[in-house]
Structure formats: C-alpha cells, structure tokens
Amino acid sequence: MEKRYAAVFDLRKCVGCHACAVACKSENTVPLGVFRAWVRVVEKGVYPNVQKKFNPRICNHCDNPPCVPVCPVKATYKREDGVVLIDYDKCIGCGYCIQACPYDARFFNPIRNTADKCTFCDHRIEKGLEPACMSTCIGHARYFGDLNDPTSEVSKLVGTEDIEVIKSEFGTEPMLFYIGLDKDTVGHLKARSALELWENVRKLESRRSPAELAEARAFTEKTHKERLKNIAEGHPVAEQAIKIEQVITEGTTESLSGGD
C-alpha cells in the first residue's frame, strides 16, 4: 500500500516554546520575516485568571489541496505519498496558490522570488528521518508518520484519540490533525494583500526574459479560460475554488458554514 504521510499535534503537550519554528528555519534556510512553521499564541481570560493557548501551524498537506489546481504553470503538485510540494524552477511567483490556501500556510519567498511553504522536510523523510520540527519538539507534542500503516503512532492516534482538523468546511481533507484543539486559537482567515502580491510579481517580471514572460502569460490565459469553462460546467474543483476566493475576499466563512 502507498504511504500517506500525516502529522498529529497534541496541544495538551505544546508549551509554546517555538523550537519548531526555529528548527524549521535552520533546517530549510527560511528567510527572515517569513515562516514555514509557526505558533499562534492566544491569551484567554481576564487578569489575574489569564491563560495562554497555543496553536502550532504548518502546511496541512491536504488530500484535496486547493493550491494545486489554481497554479497556472503546474508548479504546485501532490506526490503519491500525499506530500504537497512546489517546483521552484516552474513557479512564476504569481501568488495564486498563496491566495487559495485557507490556512495561510504559503508565503512569497523574497530570496527565491517564488511561493514557499512547509515541505514536511521531504529531504529528511526520504532518508527515513522525521521533519525537523517534529524531532525538535521538547514537549513531544508532534507526531509524524504513515497514516496507512496501522502500526505507526500517527495512525494509532487518529484511530483512538478525539482528533480535529482546522477549517474542515473547505473540503480540503487536511492531513494535519489536532488533539485538544481550542477553537479560539484558530482565528479568522487573513486577507491577503492583492497589492503586495502584485508588487512581488512585478519584481519577478523584471528578472525574466521577454520570451519567458510571454510563455507564462500565455499559459495563464489558457488556464484562466479552462477555469471559466469548468465553472460554467459546474466542476467541483472550480466550485471549491470560488468558495475559497469568496472567503478570502470577504474575510469570513459565512458563505461556507454560516460563520466561524
């Protein structure tokens, strides 16, 4: 049976130390100001009864990733083992995938001039190692493994614990599962700045040859026409993309679930 990699975060054990974010930056040479792994911190209560709640985030490596079909040059793809990756040689930095991701897991890499995100440390798992953030967690709150292997820790936890996923209403089928998830730590979707994304594209265009730009634009136009055709025919992937676009534009999930 083909492997299906997944992760489980046990928030009962997370202490909010941010070691995961530091390990990820070091392992993957992530530029300053952007993160592949991060921890959302939320304070709850009123002084003196105040608590801090933590929600560690990475790419959800969805079974039905909306970032894949929106890429005009097919730079974003999902492997057979479920890991979602970006072909940096193909990526033109248009930002479509960044807008499509309902988890704010993607960002523009100012060094590569491409989209970027968590890769589950694919270079490590191919050697039989865990992703850097998993092996560094001092609270042992992170688990990684093959969901299709009934003997793996991940498979056992998903089968026995009360697990949840974030934003299940999008139908993305995320492979990042949480134990002890506090809904208040999820937060609202962050509206992406169209102006910021466009500025990134303009910077990228200045470094491409006219032939490369013409080819990329022709492919984008072709893909856009195919998308319009899919919308007209009621294609399910197109309908899902429309819903996600509405949420990003409106900054709400009302169109999907009647509110957060």
Confidence grade of residue 107 (pLDDT, cut at 50, 70, 90)? very high
Confidence grade of residue 232 (pLDDT, cut at 50, 70, 90)? low
* Sequence-distant (≥ 6) Cβ neighbours of residue 197 within 8 angstroms: 94, 95, 98, 99, 108
Q: Domain boundaries in the chain?
A: 1-260
String of b and e for 109-118 (b: at least 16 CB within 10 Å)? beeebbbbbb
Give, as one character, the DSSP assignment of residue 138: T
Distances (CA, A) of 246 to 63, 76, 243: 21, 22, 5
Mean pLDDT, rounded, of the chain: 82
Q: pLDDT for 113-136, tens place per residue? A: 999 999 999 999 999 999 999 999
Distances (CA, A) of 228 to 101, 232, 244: 20, 6, 16
Q: For tokens 């801090």, what's the residue?
A: 52
Q: What is the pLDDT of residue 256?
A: 35
CA–CA dist 67, 116 (Å, integer)? 12
Confidence grade of residue 251 (pLDDT, cut at 50, 70, 90)? very low
What fold characterizes domain 1-260? Alpha-Beta Plaits (3.30.70)
Q: Count H helices and E strands in the chain, helices first.
A: 10, 10
Closest CA to 60 of 40, 48, 41, 78: 78
